[in-house]
């Protein structure tokens, strides 16, 4: 540090909270490196400040004097010639002071942040939540038969508005086609008795009948074939199915078939 630094420094008496506050102030105004404090200049400035306080007849607290003694002690240790080897060299006499200054700087920054928050929120007003009770006033209503009738009509209309009108517009939601196996067996036997053999697609065609009827008719010819009443012939896969009776169908056969499948 240049020796002109001390000469350029002008003492300004302020209210410091303690010796570290004063010491940190001197480091800041001189823009010094806190990790490499020029102990000679800082000690001189610190003592100048205490001397100025004495000239103004101000009381100097004991902690300020203790810091002055600490600085003079460190300065004297650094002025002593080195009589030990590099391996036996003692630690820097400033080290403890530097660590305490770093700690002080940290708390000083925290305190400044807290002070800023205090200034920001000092104007805020808080109130604990409380129970607010409202007294319910009794209201007398004049009711008449005409008023009740009007209110009832309004309620009915509201209910009607809430109801879904779509069900009334739908004529038929689902039509379930009921086709019995008995009716198709009866139809096949009746056709065989009157006209003889037939091709399946002629009697049960999707152009004339529904899918349910065609499927039930197919089940009916399988059932009659199982009972040895008819024969089924098909030349190749997916070709026409020829249905023929094994014997001549009589009216009695038709009645017997109806009685056998009366529960289906």
d(CA 173, CA 187): 30
- Tokens 């009776």 locate to 245
Domains belonging to the chain, first-starting first, are: 4-80+92-114 (no CATH), 181-260 (1.10.10.580)
Residue whose C-alpha is closest to residue 41's, from 18, 17, 71: 71
- Strand 230-233 relative to strand 198-199, pairing: unpaired
Read off the DSSP letter of residue 244.
E
Predicted model pTM: 0.36
Q: What is the pLDDT along the chain (264 residues), one digit of tens a residue?
A: 344 333 333 444 456 777 888 888 888 888 888 788 888 888 888 888 888 777 665 566 677 788 888 888 887 877 776 655 554 455 677 788 888 888 888 888 888 899 898 888 888 887 777 787 877 777 777 778 888 888 889 998 988 888 766 666 655 555 566 778 888 888 888 888 888 889 998 888 888 888 888 898 899 889 888 888 889 998 888 889 999 988 777 766 666 666 665 445
- Tokens 């209503």 locate to 141
**Torsion sign over Cα 66, 70, 71, 75:** positive
């Amino acid at each position: 540090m240049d020796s002109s630094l001390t000469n350029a420094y002008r003492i300004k008496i302020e209210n410091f909270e303690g010796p570290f506050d004063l010491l940190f102030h001197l480091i800041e105004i001189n823009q010094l490196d806190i990790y490499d404090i020029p102990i000679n200049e800082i000690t001189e400035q610190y003592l100048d400040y205490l001397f100025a306080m004495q000239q103004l007849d101000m009381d100097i607290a004991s902690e300020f004097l203790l810091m002055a003694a600490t600085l003079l002690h460190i300065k004297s240790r650094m002025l002593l010639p080195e009589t030990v080897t590099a391996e036996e060299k003692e630690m820097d006499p400033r080290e403890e002071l530097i660590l305490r200054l770093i700690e002080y700087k940290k708390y000083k920054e925290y305190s400044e942040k807290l002070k800023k928050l205090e200034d920001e929120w000092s104007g805020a007003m808080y109130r604990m939540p409380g129970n607010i009770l409202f007294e319910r006033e009794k209201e007398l209503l004049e009711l008449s038969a005409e008023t009740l009738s009007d209110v009832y009509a309004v309620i009915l209309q509201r209910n009607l508005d809430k109801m879904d009108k779509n069900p009334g517009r739908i004529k038929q939601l689902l039509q379930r086609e009921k086709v019995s196996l008995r009716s198709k067996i009866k139809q096949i036997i009746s056709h065989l008795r009157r006209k003889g053999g037939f091709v399946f697609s002629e009697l049960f065609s999707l152009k004339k009948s529904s899918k349910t009827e065609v499927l039930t008719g197919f089940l009916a010819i399988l059932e009659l074939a199982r009972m040895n009443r008819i024969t089924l012939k098909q030349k190749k896969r997916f070709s026409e199915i020829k249905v023929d009776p094994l014997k001549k169908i009589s009216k009695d056969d038709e009645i017997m078939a109806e009685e056998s499948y009366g529960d289906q």
